[in-house]
Structure 1
């Protein structure tokens, strides 16, 4: 099955019709899980966080973010960053169907120089989005890097935009963890409890030095891991 998926993944990713069908199915699944899970006692209020920090940078972990788009209140604008690669197109379509604005980053298979230029363009686009008053959702850890370890990108955006990073974690009591994936991707399942944990906002000074950026990167890592642990404690009493 794995070999078959590897063989068909490329053609599926390039097919607009297949992407549209899969995006519709995944969007419906995410909404279904959100609607059929009851909010755990002690969860934080997303509307209150939006009122307090907008526009802000919502920080999430890879593999723990699949249900996160559904928590965005209806009618509230939120933008998210996606690469220009074919593999990311499906995720972008799902986000759009859930009401997100999509900001394009660098392609997944570009050379280093082009990737750096693409990353810089994405940073500028995200800053403009924040300047316009729209919140931005950003995955804090680097794809296929060290899981649950924030990269410098998110704190650099906080520096140039002057907007805070807000750690956000979502967990459900019923879930399937894909243990062989690099980020331990967690698929949220219906008919259980759902928890939302929001950490304290983290600000980065406009004149922050490289050393201070590294300190803020560690602060984001610690705060987002703490929010993740709290979300899991709320649904089943265990850290993850």
Structure 2
């Protein structure tokens, strides 16, 4: 209903062809702002989402598959590498690398679960191992409801104006050292916030506030 009843502005105007030329890409998302991103993804391009292995994840997996997304199960994209290994994240990481090298884009919430607004190590490690670019993708509507949850979740509402914004590219070299990975991690957060700020500006209403955990 949101997709059908909203007047959308795309930035860039050739967003679909830009994604097609860049694909496969790593779509970076903020927790709480990710629910409507499937509206912005071109339906003809293969994509899979990382979904955590818990009860909420099961609900997300079913919804994503109904929307045409594949799923890769495992730990989230945040946290340190020891936690990634403990929670099965390294298995998921290998699965995402295989998918990207096979031509399937990956959608991943970049920030640390239960913290929000702080990018974890997982997404930049994925970019290093796969050689694929990171691109923020934001879907926002003017009519929206905000929740006082840990992730500051937003629910888009129908019958209004909307924006679908593709953010700046972040690349990580295959030989990136620890400092370069840290720089890329910070760059992903900045790119996500800039893309959200632009989408909120286009749609009007309340202003996007950068999140810092």
- TM-score of the alignment, normalized to the shorter chain, above 0.5: yes
1 or 2, which has the higher helix percentage? 1
Is 1:184 the counterpart of 2:152? The answer is yes
CA distance in 1, matches of 2:43, 2:84: 34
Select the residue among 15, 21, 28 that pairs with 1:52: 21
Q: 1:205 to 1:115 in 2, by over 3 A?
A: closer
The one-character-per-residue Cα deviations of 1:87-128 (angstroms, maximum 9, x if unpaired) are 210011000000001101049xxxx97852411111100000
Residue 48 of structure 2 aligns to a residue whose secondary structure is: strand
CA distance in 1, matches of 2:12, 2:70: 26
CA shift for structure 1 position 74: 2.3
CA distance in 1, matches of 2:54, 2:196: 28
CA distance in 1, matches of 2:83, 2:11: 45
Select the residue among 123, 134, 137 that pairs with 2:104: 134
CA distance in 1, matches of 2:188, 2:9: 24
1 or 2, which has the higher strand percentage? 2
CA distance in 1, matches of 2:121, 2:58: 24
CA shift for structure 1 position 200: 2.0
Residue 28 of structure 2 aligns to a residue whose secondary structure is: strand
Select the residue among 68, 71, 74 that pairs with 2:40: 71
CA distance in 1, matches of 2:114, 2:167: 25
Select the residue among 24, 29, 35 that pairs with 2:4: 35
Equivalent pairs counted in the alignment come to 203
Unpaired runs of at least 5, structure 1: 1-31
Q: 1:190 to 1:55 in 2, by over 3 A?
A: same
Residue 218 of structure 1 aligns to a residue whose secondary structure is: helix
Aligned to 1:23: none
Is 1:166 the counterpart of 2:135? The answer is yes
Is 1:143 the counterpart of 2:113? The answer is yes
**TM-score in terms of structure 2 length:** 0.89
Is 1:99 the counterpart of 2:68? The answer is yes
Unpaired runs of at least 5, structure 2: 209-213
Aligned to 2:50: 81
CA distance in 1, matches of 2:83, 2:141: 39
Larger mean CA deviation between 74-83 and 126-135 belongs to 74-83
- Greater C-alpha radius of gyration: 1
Aligned partners of 1:197 and 1:230 also within 8 Å: yes
